[in-house]
Structure 1
Amino acid sequence: MQQVTTYLPIFSAQARILVAACTQKIVNEYLFAQNHNLMWLIGDLNASLDRRLSAAHTGHQITERLSHQCAQLG
């Protein structure tokens, strides 16, 4: 009984360290995954914005050409 009592605080401290380390690893992996997902989302949003800006620019160019052609007609 004396031996169990003697090692119990050591085991308890080691168990707390192990649980803390595992918990920290899980949290880090979760945050990494969230950060990775956020980076993908930002990349998708940037690509979408680029496409929309390109389409808007193209639309503006078409409008300018039509205005110029209409002005030439009369």
Structure 2
Amino acid sequence: MIVVNMAMKQQDVIAVLEANGFQFVEKKGIRLYFNTAGDLAEKVTEAKALIKAQPWGVALYFNVEVVK
């Protein structure tokens, strides 16, 4: 499982990641939890790249990390 920590554009991030194979699990405050298959370290990098590729993504402060 991975978590995206961000305060803004949460619904947009959920939509982008779900469209690319991530499964949204839950939202807790600024944390968005996603299930995904494969190497989690690679999925963290992929999620970051997908968010930054959006027109609004480069202006956001966020991080993505693996949750055990």
Task: Give the shorter-chain TM-score range.
Answer: under 0.3
Per the normalisation by structure 1, the TM-score is 0.24
- Greater C-alpha radius of gyration: 1
Bigger proportion of residues as helix: 1
The structure showing larger relative contact order (alpha-carbon pairs under 8 Å, at least 6 residues apart) is 2
